[in-house]
Chains A and B, each alone.
Chain A
Amino acid sequence: MFSKHVSSLTSAYYHDELPPEQSRRVAEHLIGCVRCRAECEEVRFGAMLAAQLPLIPAPDSLWREIEVALDRNDRTVPVRSGPHLISFLLRPRFALAAVALIGLVVTVAALLMNHTPAPAGASWDVARMRGAPRIGSVLISDKAKLGVGQWLETDPNSRAQINVSDIGQVEIDPNTRVRLLETKPTEHRLELERGRLSARISAPPKLFFVNTPSGVAEDRGCAYTLEVDDAGNSLLHVTAGWVALQLRDRESVVPAGAACATKAGIGPGTPYFEDASASFRTALTRIDFDSVATDRSKTLDSLLRGARVRDTLTLLHLLGRVDGNDRVQVYERMAELVPPPQGVTREGVLALDQQMLDAWKDKLKFYWSDYSSPPMKFFKKAWIRSLGALHGLEGKR
């Protein structure tokens, strides 16, 4: 029997990819080793899941598109040998016609530069707000159409506004480059390569998306600004409603009054309210994006000490991003600020039981709701102060 564990061989064992002797030894080891047997079961389950992966049919139009591309590659313009052609064109009676033709071509080109051709297929209306935004290489006069696959770009002095079908508007700031990826009744999607946009969308969730180099923003009926720098990092500020940011297995759900940074190669950070203290936000940035930090526990401790009741937005997201003792500390601080509701247990939260997390989140949302209007601010402060007194948490905001 192996003296070492065999967990690294379990997939190869499951797929029968091991040589017979090695496979026999793994089988023998599994009989006596509970740990490896458990890992083998996990791998077996994962393999059964992966086996459900369906083949996605290619679109029917694909062959035609390929043929067009191949025909384009094959086409060549026959050119006669130089001397004959040049001497022919230099004859006086053709020279004048050639000059007139060149003049005509230049004039048409100038006209086309200022005329944005309407794209075939679905498109969004675009209005020039200032300066000279362009779609592709064509300047927008006043109004234009942005088709699927087309780029809209603004320079330092220009701005534009896009009507997102009938669900809202997006304003494009200077120095911004966006592309329309999809527009159909079940999905509208933009790509923000760099720059900044502000969106006001009235639509159900999972209808409007913005792809960035470091994550996808999914609108959940809201207003927000999203900016991307040249390195592909982005910053989202939500002013109304909710926005979800996702990349790989990281998702951050950001409410009004909160922000979330994303970093290329890593994905969304943890959302935070913009009125959180500077030290809280600094600690959070280190936890999110500084993978080489050696004093992580100390940084977490500093963050937790500076957390207010509404910073439970950040802490709830952090629960799934830390583990071991760090997760225990996050839980304990959250429970101290806003005790979990009935039915939500410490063990369940630490095991990231989704139902329990959702139940606690429903309670916490009250403390995250928009503080922008003064009457609401007053009412909520008074209400929270009274709740705090009830739970012995006076002064912990």
Chain B
Amino acid sequence: MLEQTAILAEQRVPDSRLQDSIDARVIRACQQGDREAFRLLFEAYKDRVFSIARYSLGDEAAADDVTQQIFVKLITRIGQFRGESEFTTWLYRLVINTCLDERRKRRRFLPVSEFEPLPPMTNTANQRSPETGYARQEVADSVRHAITGLKPKMRLPILLKYVEGLSYEEIADVLGCSKGTVASRLNRAHKALARRLGHLRDEFEL
């Protein structure tokens, strides 16, 4: 299984396929100090962890620092993971808490912003034709900017829902709140985004 996962990492397959292959055996290998197993874990989650840090903290240098901290903490604390919750819940709790600690340390209230504008995306996966591709990129840039403008209580559920793909229950586990609270915060966040980006309605033919 480890070899199969390593092949997937070598082939640079999407994170979702890598994540599917991260099972109890990889985690156990990490707990036994297997650096290669940890590398597989890192490759499976690095973009998602970095994305949350980037959207939470507002600048690339801070996101880089915090992502490093998270993975170093992960490997040093993975021995504490007993399998009582999902590994992803445990991981994202670590991510969120580290980001919140970093923000408190900097005495900053994000957005990151809120703070620093994110550079325009050049990811060609979003581009089909020059016209539609450009429009999609503009929409993505506007959305990213709007997300960084949300208050943290609204931004974190949005990131966990749409970047990490977690369910309401999983988000509640990560954030340590009730499912109803998650629903309420997502409600407010959706409405805030809709109000802020109302000028993009035509792009979605609403």
Q: Is the interface of A mostly helix, strand, loop or mixed?
A: mixed
Distance of A53 Cα from B158 Cα, bound (Å)? 9
Counting chain B CB atoms within 10 Å of each CB, which of A39, A149, A209, A247 scores highest?
A247
Q: Which residues of A contact B123 (CB under 8 A)?
A: 54, 57
B29 interfacial by beta-carbon distance below 8 Å: no
Across the interface, A11 reaches (CB within 8 A) one of B76, B140, B167, B186, namely B186
Interface string of A311-354 (1 = CB under 8 A from B): 00000000000000000000000000000000000000000001
Across the interface, B190 reaches (CB within 8 A) one of A43, A63, A181, namely A43
Q: How far is the CB of A202 from chain B (nearest CB, A)?
A: 21
Contact A55 B108 (CB under 8 A): no
Q: How far is the CB of B114 from chain A (nearest CB, A)?
A: 5
Q: Which of A172-189 contact B (CB under 8 A)?
A: 181-182, 186-187, 189
Q: Which of B133-182 contact A (CB under 8 A)?
A: 136, 139-140, 143-144, 146-147, 149-151, 158-159, 161-163, 167-168, 179
Distance of A182 Cα from B123 Cα, bound (Å)? 23
Distance of A63 Cα from B71 Cα, bound (Å)? 9
A213 interfacial by beta-carbon distance below 8 Å: yes
- Tell me the total A-B contact number using a CB cutoff of 8 A: 178
B96 interfacial by beta-carbon distance below 8 Å: no
Interface size class of B (residues with CB under 8 A): 35 or more
Contact A50 B161 (CB under 8 A): yes
Contact B116 A216 (CB under 8 A): yes
B39 interfacial by beta-carbon distance below 8 Å: yes
A131 interfacial by beta-carbon distance below 8 Å: no
Q: How far is the CB of B151 from chain A (nearest CB, A)?
A: 6
Contact A209 B144 (CB under 8 A): no
B191 interfacial by beta-carbon distance below 8 Å: yes
Distance of A189 Cα from B117 Cα, bound (Å)? 12
Counting chain A CB atoms within 10 Å of each CB, which of B71, B117, B123, B190 scores highest?
B190
Contact A189 B116 (CB under 8 A): yes
Q: Which residues of A contact B147 (CB under 8 A)?
A: 50, 53
Distance of A66 Cα from B192 Cα, bound (Å)? 37
Distance of A44 Cα from B140 Cα, bound (Å)? 17
Q: How far is the CB of B4 from chain A (nearest CB, A)?
A: 20
Q: Which residues of A contact B97 (CB under 8 A)?
A: none
Given A49-B200, A65-B68, answer yes or no on A56-B51 (Cβ-Cβ < 8 Å).
Answer: yes
Contact B47 A53 (CB under 8 A): no
Interface size class of A (residues with CB under 8 A): 35 or more
Q: How far is the CB of A275 from chain B (nearest CB, A)?
A: 31
Across the interface, A73 reaches (CB within 8 A) one of B76, B199, B201, namely B76
Contact B143 A17 (CB under 8 A): no
Chain B minimum-CB-distance residue to A191: B106
Contact B71 A49 (CB under 8 A): no
Q: How far is the CB of A51 from chain B (nearest CB, A)?
A: 6
Distance of A39 Cα from B190 Cα, bound (Å)? 10
Q: How far is the CB of B127 from chain A (nearest CB, A)?
A: 12
The 8 closest A-B pairs by CB, nearest first: A46-B190, A58-B50, A46-B194, A213-B107, A46-B193, A58-B46, A11-B187, A12-B183
16 examples of A-B residue contacts, CB within 8 angstroms? A10-B190, A43-B190, A45-B194, A45-B206, A51-B162, A54-B126, A55-B163, A56-B47, A63-B46, A66-B68, A149-B61, A187-B116, A206-B117, A213-B107, A246-B114, A248-B110
Chain B positions near chain A (C-beta within 8 angstroms): 15, 35, 39, 42, 46-51, 54-55, 59-61, 64, 67-68, 71-72, 75-76, 106-111, 113-119, 121, 123, 126, 136, 139-140, 143-144, 146-147, 149-151, 158-159, 161-163, 167-168, 179, 183-184, 186-187, 189-197, 199-201, 204, 206
Chain A positions near chain B (C-beta within 8 angstroms): 7-12, 15, 17, 39, 41-59, 62-63, 65-66, 69-70, 73, 148-149, 181-182, 186-187, 189, 206, 209, 211, 213-214, 216, 232, 246-249, 264-265, 267, 354
